[in-house]
Chains A and B, each alone.
Chain A
Amino acid sequence: MSEQQTITLYPSRQFKDNARAALQDGELRTSLRTAMDYLMAKRLSAFPDGDELATLRTLGETIRQRCLAKLPELLEKLEAQLTVNGVQVHWAETTEQANEIIHDLIARRGGTLAVKGKSMVSEETELNHYLEARGVTAVESDMGEYIVQLAGEKPTHIIMPAIHKTKAHIAQLFHDKLPDTPYTEDVDSLIRIGRNALRDLYLKADVGLSGVNFAVAETGTLCLVENEGNGRMCTTVPDMHIAITGIEKVVEKLTDVVPLYSLLTRSAIGQPITTYFNMISSPRKTGEKDGPREVHLVLLDNGRSQAYADEQLRKTLQCIRCGACMNHCPVYTRIGGHAYGTTYPGPIGEIISPHMLGLENTKDLPTASSLCGACGEVCPVKIPIPEMLMRLREEEQRPAGEVVAHPLRGQGAAHTGKEALAWRTWRGLFGQPGAYKLFGWAATRLRGLTPPGQLGWTQNHVPLKPAAKTLHQLVRERDAARR
């Protein structure tokens, strides 16, 4: 049970404190700004043709919506096809179940060392902790993930896990943590150090773990997108490969992956394509000389079915995890990924985490956005993120006792009598012309009594002070003068 609790290692109840601390970290602010500016520019350069971008985004959206509309059937088809191919499929409703399944598979063959390709879903389940506590070492092999794991941290970005770290940090980290490693800030040397350390482990590992970018129902194919080759190592060299993914990652047809893959790499890092696109359809067949003899796929729900239950919130599941929303988010750019306290940070995290952790644990996330719309504008599958945020705000303000068709876990988590009263008062004043007129009259007459402290506003601003006359009044006076 302790593993369940480790998920709230950075409970987002502390979001505001975390954010404040991050805002005061000048080095972090600079790293993030530089990196996000770079990623935004790269993305822009990868879509030189606005028409092509617009059409491709619509295509991506339509494909993902079609796949979600058929989700239960596609999951069954995927399972059937993978089974025919010799891949074993497992289902987990909770993170605990997923971890148990994976641990059992490793334990069955007496494994003690697992190498991991990048998998956000395994971050979601806190798999490393779970395995560690049971005598299995799980080593992250994506360079960024490796660095973050070595530092005892969590990824701060879903595509660039170590984006918050400078090369000086990493030089010190390698020097401190890896035997016989001199301090060097030369990036090529640092990568070589990481490469050598990890290649030893691929060789020895009993099991390779990975995520999945697209699971194709038609052919029973697991697609993995990467630049480094560590994903290929993890899925090719050890004798057992266990892939874990969310139930929403299934696509219907092999051709579906073509536009989605193009959208993914161009939106994420501005690359026309990644170095490797790895399509795995079966374990080692008779006569083949390498590849794992056993391949498993673990399909995880963990709150996704809650989002699925509601047709509006279902759009959240269209996500292909490119990270463009965070790269373009002015909030993420200022506080970084750790502040969110969740596996998925930034705008996508704000709309997916409430389904995974409940609004009671994530209530500050839906409001942590100015609704500027930059995220929705760049989303490659056109998730209307601001609309999702407003809906979640509604659900966390909705009194817990109110009966609705698809109640969300933690409904009413942000509801307070005080705020509800404030909005009822506002409604009373602004919803009736007579009351509003009186309010305008009073506000302008009493402007001298404007309080010097106005909630959070006066932390950054001079107090808001009503004008001497409202626009209503100015117009009335002028109309009177003209008559």
Chain B
Amino acid sequence: MQPNHVAIPASGRARPTDVYFFGTCLLDLFLPEAGMDAITLLENLDLCVHFPQAQSCCGQPAYTSGHPNEARVVARAQLALFPNDWPIVVPSGSCGGMMKHHWPRLFAGEPEQALAEALAARVVELSDFLLNVLDFHPQDRGLPTRVAVHTSCGARREMNVHVTSWALVDRLANVERVVHDHESECCGFGGTFSVKHPDIAGAMVADKAASLQHSGALEFVTADAGCLLNINGKLAKDGERVFAGKHLATFLLERTGDKA
């Protein structure tokens, strides 16, 4: 909404040889393909991707539901998994925001404070990493199409990376990015919000889905698993058979012709 407030350091972040990948629990359990697609994208860019098998969840669901103690236990279980000084790439703006901005708070005054802060500094959202660290210029091998981009509120307001997904899509030669009505508005996921206040969340996702459907796009992409499950789950509930969304990683891999 106010692009002039978004400062993305396009330089100053050296290209690493290795990265950690934090898959997030939602991708892990519900959209593992998107996680694999993100890993493949990174590997195709000559990075060695490390996926610590002991990872589970950043702790966000409990943290935002008023259960920081439970969140801390789960987050603590992740802290030892990233010993080397490599970036921790997260394919979700809200989980990235949790790790980058809320882990230091969650561990404030705890023995793990310094470690949490050090990890937080290395967390980078996938689209931000692709664009600003790798300067990824995808070779578009797909047919002409139109897509809409939904950016998660975590990416937009906590990670300041709502422009990075746009920029990546805009680098695809045969893809026209269309803007949808009230693009900056929340899709109504909000973790347990959509369970505790289904009426309100339902109205929000209905509006978001309709806005995407009426945007003129043939499909939509997003870099956040929560939003994707929310909007696709709503579209499916309403019997929509054609229009749906996919993770940005999947979309990029498809466009570059590298999707198996």
Contact = CB atoms under 8 A, between A and B. Distances in A.
B243 interface: no
B28 interface: yes
A92 interface: no
A50 B33 contact: no
Nearest to A335: B200
Which interface class (under 10, 10 to 19, 20 to 34, 35 or more) fits A?
35 or more
A367 B197 contact: yes
B73 A427 contact: yes
B139 to A, nearest CB: 24
A397 B193 contact: no
Nearest to B91: A471
Given A50-B2, A390-B64, A427-B62, A462 B237 contact: yes
A456 B29 contact: no
Given A390-B63, A467-B31, A470-B32, A460 B5 contact: no
Contacts of A457: 194-195, 198, 233
Given A372-B153, A374-B186, A470-B28, A475 B51 contact: yes
Nearest to A391: B66
A393 B66 contact: yes
Contact of B199 (A19, A53, A376, A377): A19
Given A390-B63, A457-B198, A475-B39, A373 B158 contact: yes
Interface residues of B, number: 69
Interface stretch (B11-19, B116-124, B202-210): B202-210
Contacts of A23: 199-200, 203
A371 B200 contact: no
B200 A464 contact: no
A330 interface: yes
Given A472-B53, A474-B35, A475-B39, A456 B73 contact: no
A457 B53 CA distance: 29
Nearest to A17: B199
B170 interface: no
Contacts of B206: 460
B145 interface: no
Interface in A429-465: 430-433, 436-437, 440, 443-444, 455-462, 464-465
Interface of A: 16, 19-20, 23, 44, 50, 53-54, 330-331, 334-335, 364, 366-374, 376-377, 390, 392-398, 414, 423-424, 426-427, 430-433, 436-437, 440, 443-444, 455-462, 464-467, 469-476, 478
